[in-house]
Amino acid sequence: MIRADSRDFEIHAERQPDKRMVMSPTPNDRHSLALFTAFYELTMAQAYWQSGQTASATFSLFIRRQPTNRGYLVFAGLDRIIDFLDEFHYSAEDIDYLKSLQAFDPAFLEFLRSVRFTGSVRALEEGAIFFANEPAIEVTAPIIEAQIVENYLLNQVNVNTMLATKASRVIRAAQGRPVTEFASRRTPGLDAADTLARVSHMVGFSGTGNVYAAAHHGIPPAGTMAHSFVTSFEQEIEAFRAYATSFPDSSVFLVDSYDTIEGTRNAVRVAKEMRDRGSELAAIRLDSGELRDLSTRCRTLLDEAGFPGVRILASGDLDEFQIEALIADGVPINGFGVGTKVGTSEDAPWTDVVYKLVEYRGAPILKLSPGKETLVGRKQIFRFLDEAGEYFRDEIGLADESTMGEHVQPLLTTVMVDGDRHWSPRPIQQLRSEFSDRISRLPDRYKSLRAPASYPVTTSDTLDTLQKRIAEQVKETALGG
């Protein structure tokens, strides 16, 4: 059946999967996403099933630590997670593939064929602001169902939250100047590109350079010209003229292909020709060199030539730190395009997101691994607002604790009940406006780009008492009395 020899890490299938089962190498694969699970979820599922360990469990998804420089986190990814749970099932092809591994009991695979997600889910709202150790999602379901969805949920919360958080920092740094994302050429894969476009627009970006993502999510696409366009013409000025002819009312000329200052002079020449024909150049774009000095010189050139309305846009390996520094220096840059460093969340390319069993068969569960203790039981986050409506402090309590007063918001809401969706996706424009309101309620000291203050998150007395009792109990019984 299965073997574990000295060359293998853990359980390996005896045979390679049947070639006919191998999926096409495109994202339009015919295997179901239910197969996006860890192999150990399925081996555990068989062991649960064979040992009759199939009662209801609650798993809590949370981020263990605030990533570097981050004073807050922006939750995102709920849409796809609910879709995934709603549609969860193994296709005939999936089961055939699993059979081909000769690693599972055929009776278990027959059971697996019928598995659907029948559980309940409580989650933060899309675009909610949250902090380390706060449950972002709690899943309550028969343990096999709750267990095998782990990988997809973690993957999606990780990439969505990481990118939404990063992008919201860029918006803060830009202080109201528009920001567009041009990251899709260097995001780690297509999915990250699509995700970044969506969540960055939610937190305030003007648009995306990625047409697929723009179509997918209803986001304004944006873009101008590349160096290849300019250099394909014998003279830079001919490239500008050709572009102005095609886009008389919205041209942005990229001026640094050969020399930024000479390029700006060429832009001015074409801008005059455009004006003679009744249209105006929209902007120039700088993509290299010392942006402080260059933008100032370009601004002067444009103003002196009678083009104070032509904006200066900047791009080229920018992130929140560089934008903050440029603005602090008072550069005459009107808008920013960001790419790689934002699309990879370069300074914090992952979150310490985990999915932990916190209740089984109605009893609270605790893990004691060094540095990895979990908070037991089904929980709720209570957010206390001050009188101005600003976020003041959070308390993590048990799910059945009641809220205390009018300035307290419970943050987890029910989004699925018994496998049915109790929630519908909101238009991106609504999410954008909700996020704008939320981030304005978080005091500035938690939003600093470096060394932000630590937002107060405490645990309730009720949770503390339970946690202590379970810890003692586990120490007595779990390792065998």
Residues in 252-311 at the binding interface with its own copies, rule: CB under 8 A? 252, 256-259, 262-263, 266, 282-283, 285, 287-289, 311
**Which 3 state secondary structure label does DSSP give 384?**
strand
Least CB distance to its own copies at residue 70 (A): 16
Distance between CA atoms of 82 and 460, rounded to whole angstroms?
29
Selected range binding its own copies among 78-86, 296-304, 397-405, 411-419, rule: CB under 8 A: 78-86
Question: First vs last Cα of the chain: how many Å apart?
Answer: 35
Asked if 46 is part of the footprint of its own copies (rule: CB under 8 A), the reply reads yes
Residue 120 vs 266, nearer CB to its own copies: 266
Selected range binding its own copies among 180-188, 300-308, 323-331, 440-448, rule: CB under 8 A: 180-188
Distance between CA atoms of 341 and 347, rounded to whole angstroms?
8
Asked if 336 is part of the footprint of its own copies (rule: CB under 8 A), the reply reads yes
Residues 389 to 428 in contact with its own copies, rule: CB under 8 A: 425
Which of 360, 384, 392, 446 touches its own copies (CB under 8 A)? 360
Distance between CA atoms of 257 and 40, rounded to whole angstroms?
52
Amino acid at 338: V
Distance between CA atoms of 358 and 138, rounded to whole angstroms?
9
Asked if 158 is part of the footprint of its own copies (rule: CB under 8 A), the reply reads yes
Amino acid at 475: K
Which of 234, 276, 387, 406 touches its own copies (CB under 8 A)? 234
Which of 114, 370, 387, 388 touches its own copies (CB under 8 A)? 370
Asked if 470 is part of the footprint of its own copies (rule: CB under 8 A), the reply reads no
In the sheet that 391-398 helps form, which strands lie side by side, from edge to edge?
A: 408-410, 379-385, 391-398, 457-459
Asked if 349 is part of the footprint of its own copies (rule: CB under 8 A), the reply reads yes
Amino acid at 198: R
DSSP string, 238-266: HHHHHHHHH-TTT-EEE--SS-HHHHHHH
Distance between CA atoms of 342 and 182, rounded to whole angstroms?
9
Asked if 378 is part of the footprint of its own copies (rule: CB under 8 A), the reply reads no
Residue 270 vs 411, nearer CB to its own copies: 270
Which of 140, 168, 184, 264 touches its own copies (CB under 8 A)? 184
Which of 70, 73, 79, 88 touches its own copies (CB under 8 A)? 79
Q: Which residues of 401-417 are buried (b: 16+ CB within 10 A; e: fewer)?
A: beeeeeeeeebbeebbe
Residues 136 to 155 in contact with its own copies, rule: CB under 8 A: 143, 147, 150-151, 154-155
